[in-house]
Each structure stands twice: as C-alpha cells, then as structure tokens.
C-alpha cells in the first residue's frame, strides 16, 4: 500500500514520513521542491503542489496524510478518493474541538467524512514549533523574548507527538471514525517555557514586556502573517475579526494521545532540548 504524505517537509509531515518509513511502509512524500528536500532512504519523493491538485501523483495511493491547504483541500480529497484512496488522516486543529474553527479545518473534516473513506482527524493544540518563529530571532540575537504577558499560560504540543498519532492512524486498524484532540502536556507560563529553552541552550533569557499592539507589530516585522499574529497576541479571532473569548477556557490534558500511543506527551523541556539548535545564537 502506498501512503501519500502531503505537507511532507512541514513540521509534522517530515516526522510522519520518517515514522512511516521506519515502520517499513511504502511512502510517497510530496513537496513543491524535491531538490530541496531531504527524506530517509527508500522514500519516494514526488513533486506536487496543493495549488494544482490535478497534478498530484495519486496513482496507487491507498492512504493519504492530508495537510490542509484550504483553497484546494476538498478537491484533493475528491481526487484521492477517485484514485482509490481508502484511508485519509487529516491534520486538523484543536480549534475544531473547541468550536472556534468553523471555516478552515472543519469543512475539510466534513468533506473527508462524506467521502466514504476510513477517516481519522488529528486535532492538535498550539504547536511548540511556533516558539521558533516567535521567539527564535530575538533569543538568537541577544537572549531576549518580546511578549505582552510572560505570566500567561499556554499549552504546547511537540510535533513528533502529533506525527506519531498520524502514523498510527495511517498504519493501524481501530482509528477509523475517530477525532483525536492532542493538547500537549500540562500548561506552563511563558516564563516557564523560556526557562526550559534557556536551560536547553545554557543561557538565561529575559523578557521584554510590551503591549499587545507592540507585540503584534514586532511579530509581523518578523514575518508572521498579520491575522495569525493578531490571534496569537489576543487582538484578533482565530477566524479574523474580534478576539475570541477564552475567559472560560480550561487547560486540560486530553487522554487521546496516551490512548493511541500508550505513553504520555513529550514535555516542553524535551521539546526545547530537541530544538536547542534553533535557539542557539
């Protein structure tokens, strides 16, 4: 059985490819730039663009890991099913679980459910890798972190944990019709996260406390799309417009990861050690 991995060079996708290859599966990794990608030996690397779904090499594909590129995701699903795919694992979002994603991942989940395949939705919370983009440049430059509220809690999930659940759902029976919410381990304050990164790189990090507007301007200057940055700093909603109301939000640790893998989530300290090179100056 050939498994097509879209978004194969992504934070999660690259670990999905590796996990499938290590399990001995026949993997086809899709990227727009095969020359610039490095994958394990034995992986078939193909050129494909989610903006040109008709050109995606779907011949012989029985299972699909779907990175959601919103404009074309439903076409990709239709084409994959027509080509013979029987199982689709969607990299979705915990925002669907919590009800504030109604226009991005949710319609794709619905399309996959309606397509008649065996489906599994993987719904992660906030990726720990966001910290590389948000905090990496200033940590590398001078050990500082620009943030509007260092005592704010967050709950971050390691991309390898997300990938492991996707790999299980692609390879094993028993996951059809399931939506797994992956919260990551217990909540931490931003200061606790900074301490873990500092420990990993052997450097004490300090916060530059700014207003939310100043943080927004800073993150946009670092290349974040404005809408994503507005959401991140609490100035905008997940789907744009006004900020969502998270005042009743309760941080819990969802049991789904342990139920699938048989072990607890990787900690943020572990994630920081895995990514020390991304923060070292």
What is the smallest separation between the CB atom of 146 and ligand NAP, expressed in angstroms?
Answer: 18
Would you say 7 or 148 has its CB closer to ligand NAP?
A: 7
Told to check if 124 binds ligand NAP by CB under 6 A, we report: yes
Question: d(Cα 202, Cα 279) in Å, to the nearest integer?
Answer: 10
Which residue stretch of 5-13, 206-214, 255-263, 271-279 sits at the interface with ligand NAP (rule: CB under 6 A)? 5-13
- Cβ neighbours of residue 20 closer than 8 Å, sequence gap 6 or more: 3, 5, 27, 167, 170, 171
Told to check if 192 binds ligand NAP by CB under 6 A, we report: no
Residue with tokens 């599966």: 25
Question: d(Cα 64, Cα 161) in Å, to the nearest integer?
Answer: 19
Strands 188-189 and 153-154: antiparallel
- For the packed helices 106-114 and 73-83, what is the interaxial angle rounded to 10 degrees? 20
Question: In the chain, what's the furthest Cα-to-Cα distance?
Answer: 55
Told to check if 12 binds ligand NAP by CB under 6 A, we report: yes
Question: d(Cα 115, Cα 117) in Å, to the nearest integer?
Answer: 6
- Joined together, the tokens standing for residue 248 give 């009743």
Would you say 68 or 146 has its CB closer to ligand NAP?
A: 68
Would you say 127 or 271 has its CB closer to ligand NAP?
A: 127
Told to check if 197 binds ligand NAP by CB under 6 A, we report: no
Told to check if 126 binds ligand NAP by CB under 6 A, we report: yes
Would you say 107 or 174 has its CB closer to ligand NAP?
A: 107
What is the smallest separation between the CB atom of 125 and ligand NAP, expressed in angstroms?
Answer: 6
Which residue stretch of 7-15, 79-87, 106-114, 248-256 sits at the interface with ligand NAP (rule: CB under 6 A)? 7-15
Question: d(Cα 14, Cα 126) in Å, to the nearest integer?
Answer: 18
What is the smallest separation between the CB atom of 48 and ligand NAP, expressed in angstroms?
Answer: 6
* Residue numbers at the binding site for ligand NAP (CB under 6 A): 7, 9-13, 31-33, 37, 49-51, 67-69, 91, 93, 124, 126-127, 130
């Amino acid at each position: 059985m050939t498994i097509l991995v879209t978004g194969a060079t992504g934070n999660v996708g690259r670990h999905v490819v590796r996990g499938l290859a290590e399990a001995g599966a026949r993997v086809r990794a899709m990227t727009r730039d095969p020359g610039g990608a490095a994958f394990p030996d034995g992986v078939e690397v193909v050129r494909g663009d989610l903006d040109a779904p008709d050109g995606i090499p779907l011949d012989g594909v029985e299972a699909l890991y779907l990175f959601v590129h919103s404009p074309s995701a439903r076409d990709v699903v239709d084409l994959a099913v027509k080509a013979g795919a029987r199982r689709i694992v969607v990299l979705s979002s915990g925002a669907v679980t919590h009800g504030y994603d109604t226009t991005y991942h949710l319609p794709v989940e619905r399309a996959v459910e309606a397509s008649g395949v065996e489906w599994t939705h993987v719904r992660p919370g906030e990726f720990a890798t966001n910290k590389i983009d948000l905090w990496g440049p200033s940590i590398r430059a001078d050990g500082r972190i620009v943030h509007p509220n260092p005592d704010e809690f967050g709950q971050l999930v390691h991309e390898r944990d997300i990938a492991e659940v996707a790999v299980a759902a692609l390879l094993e029976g028993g996951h059809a019709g399931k939506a797994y919410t992956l919260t990551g381990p217990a909540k931490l304050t931003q200061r606790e996260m900074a301490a873990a990164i500092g420990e990993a790189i052997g450097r004490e990090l300090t916060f530059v406390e700014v207003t939310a507007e100043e943080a927004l301007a800073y993150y946009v200057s670092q290349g974040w799309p404005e809408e994503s940055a507005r959401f991140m700093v609490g100035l905008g909603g997940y789907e744009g417009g006004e900020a969502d109301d998270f005042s009743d939000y309760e941080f819990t640790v969802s049991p789904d990861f342990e139920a699938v893998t048989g072990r607890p989530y990787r900690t943020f300290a572990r994630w920081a050690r895995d990514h020390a090179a991304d923060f070292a100056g």
